[in-house]
Amino acid sequence: MRAIGYHDFVFAFMVTALASMPCLAAESGEQLYLENCAACHRSDGKGIANVYPALAGSEVVLGSGIDVALVLIIGRGEMPSFNGTISSTDMASIINYVRNAWGNAGQPVSAQTIESLR
Ligand code: HEC
């Protein structure tokens, strides 16, 4: 066995540095949901009674996929529009997460579909 040398150290440093760069690690739908939606709809998707509707079991979430996309793009009532802040790729990730979390089961929606709705 050889001793740990300078190059091993440089290599380990570079791996750590690259792994911590956000641009190289696309966020998952779950992470994006927790950052953008869970403050109101809660991490368990149950919302808050009479204030923030549950997304678990929601017909809007489980419909064709267009309904939920339009809510995110246009906003609704007290809910802000995310048109200016979330990319189509990230919106698709969030939608596909909420359509399949908490017992929901919905077909995937593509970023192209979202893009065409904007
Ligand atoms: C500031 C609080 C808030 C945030 C943040 C928020 N929402 Fe909402 N959302 C609401 C409210 C309030 C409504 C009900 C609007 C109405 O019908 O008047 C709603 C409605 C919805 C609906 C329709 C549900 C139904 O069954 O009618 C969906 C789907 C939805 N939100 C998804 C999301 C997603 C996904 C995110 C994150 C990208 C998000 N919301 C972020 C407050 C919020």
Q: Residue 33 Cα, ligand 1 centroid: separation in angstroms?
A: 11
27-117: CATH topology is: Cytochrome Bc1 Complex; Chain D, domain 2 (1.10.760)
12-45 residue pLDDT tens: 666 666 555 555 568 999 999 999 999 999 999 9
Region class of 102: left (phi > 0), else alpha (psi between -120 and 50), else beta: left
**pTM for this entry:** 0.85
The pLDDT score that the predictor gives to residue 4 is: 73
Report the run of H or E that residue 38 belongs to, with start and end.
helix 38-41
69 Cβ closer than 6 Å to some ligand 1 atom: no
Instruction: Give the tokens for residue 42.
Output: 């809660």
Q: With cut-offs at 50, 70 and 90, classify the pLDDT of residue 105.
A: very high
The preferred substitution site among 31, 42, 71, 98 for testing ligand 1, maximizing ligand atoms within 8 Å of CB, is 71
Nearest CA to ligand 1 atom 23: 60
Give mean pLDDT, residues 88-104.
Answer: 98
Q: For residues 3 and 22, what is the distance between their CA atoms, to the nearest angstrom?
A: 33
Residue 19 Cα to ligand 1 midpoint, Å, equals 33
pLDDT band of 65, cuts 50, 70, 90 = very high
Q: How many residues does the chain have?
A: 118
